[in-house]
Amino acid sequence: MIKQYLLLTKPGIVFGNLISVAGGFFLASRGNIDLALFVATALGVSLIIASGCVFNNYIDRDIDEKMERTRNRVLVKGLISPTHAIVYACTLGVAGVALLYKTTNLLAVTLVLMGFIVYVGLYSLWLKRRSVYGTLVGSLSGAVPPVVGYCAVSNSFDMGAAILLLIFSLWQMPHSYAIAIFRFNDYQTANIPVLPVIKGISAAKRHIVLYIAAFIVATLMLSISGYAGYNYFVVAAVSGAYWLWMGVSGYTAVDDRVWAKKLFVFSIVTITSLSVMMSVDFQASHQVLMTSVTQLCNQLIDSDGAFCSMFISQI
């Protein structure tokens, strides 16, 4: 039974988001790591993501039984009652919010709640079954965890946080479209209006290439804006270029499903690599840099003043 409750939280998704939380947290920490704050942030965000996944399982249980990859999920097979699932989801969510409220700051709590509302309310309850733009809206919630990790440290939504939100939002789109292509029959059977089903696979391929190109620009902005270092820049450029090449190769793919699955797998490699690199290859924050410059200027002024006084006394 414990295993069934664990599966209900979609542990793979929780773990994947945990890596991005760490990336945002360590990027903002810039080497000055508060381990207790990191553990609390990671645990709190994980609990809230798990809560959202349980709610998603509850909401989608009718369409999950129609799809090959989801027909064996816990609620579909009746291993846990829907009522118990709702109670479980609420408990996880309340515990996560309480932990973040106690240990981080109001900004981090507000952001994670916004992401939760977008995922459960706008995406799962409404747009997923009604609009081709559901993927786009859902991408915003998927980009929230690294921003929460960042803001748990910085307590401010600055340019670095905005770039992180853009990077992870753009990444979600080709990643999700790739899933929809190699799971095309599932989405078509469940009547879920994803882009490949509604507009066709050719249209999805064009969107994938455009989103990957925009993603590359966003990833490089983290170094250009002075938040990440040159090693990160190289990894972002190389992995992004290869991912883009994979996307373009889709135009001549013999088997779209095989190509899409490879694209999906490499998307995970790409975002994991970037999360690791932004954790270890950061630059001094703008505030620290400006403080250092100001101190240096004051020292020079004091030195010049002392030198002038000595020169006048000698005259």
Q: What pLDDT digit, counting tens, does each position of 209-250 carry?
A: 999 999 999 999 999 999 999 999 999 999 999 999 999 999
User: Is the pLDDT reported for residue 205 higher than 60?
Assistant: yes
Q: What is the CA radius of gyration of the chain?
A: 23
Q: What is the distance between the alpha carbons of residues 82 and 99, in angstroms, rounded to a whole number?
A: 26
203 and 229 belong to one structural domain: yes
What domain count does the chain have? 3
Sole residue written with tokens 């066709």: 200
240 and 253 belong to one structural domain: yes
Mean pLDDT across 59-70: 93
Which tokens in the block code for residue 300? 């020079």
Instruction: Say what the pLDDT of residue 284 is.
Output: 55
Which tokens in the block code for residue 195? 């882009």
Q: Which of 195, 154, 200, 155 is nearest to 27 (CA)?
A: 154
27 and 60 belong to one structural domain: yes
Which tokens in the block code for residue 155? 């307590």
Instruction: Say what the pLDDT of residue 17 is.
Output: 96
117 DSSP assignment: I
Mean pLDDT across 66-73: 92
92 and 212 belong to one structural domain: no
Sole residue written with tokens 């995922």: 119
Q: What is the distance between the alpha carbons of residues 161 and 140, in angstroms, rounded to a whole number?
A: 13
Q: Which of 220, 215, 232 is nearest to 282 (CA)?
A: 232
The more confident residue out of 298 and 290 is 298
Q: Which pTM value belongs to this model?
A: 0.88
* Backbone φ, ψ for residue 28 (5° rounding): -75, -30
Q: Over the chain, what is the mean pLDDT? A: 91
216 and 252 belong to one structural domain: yes
Could you list the residue range(s) of the whole structural domain that residue 34 is in?
1-157
User: Is the pLDDT reported for residue 300 higher than 70?
Assistant: no
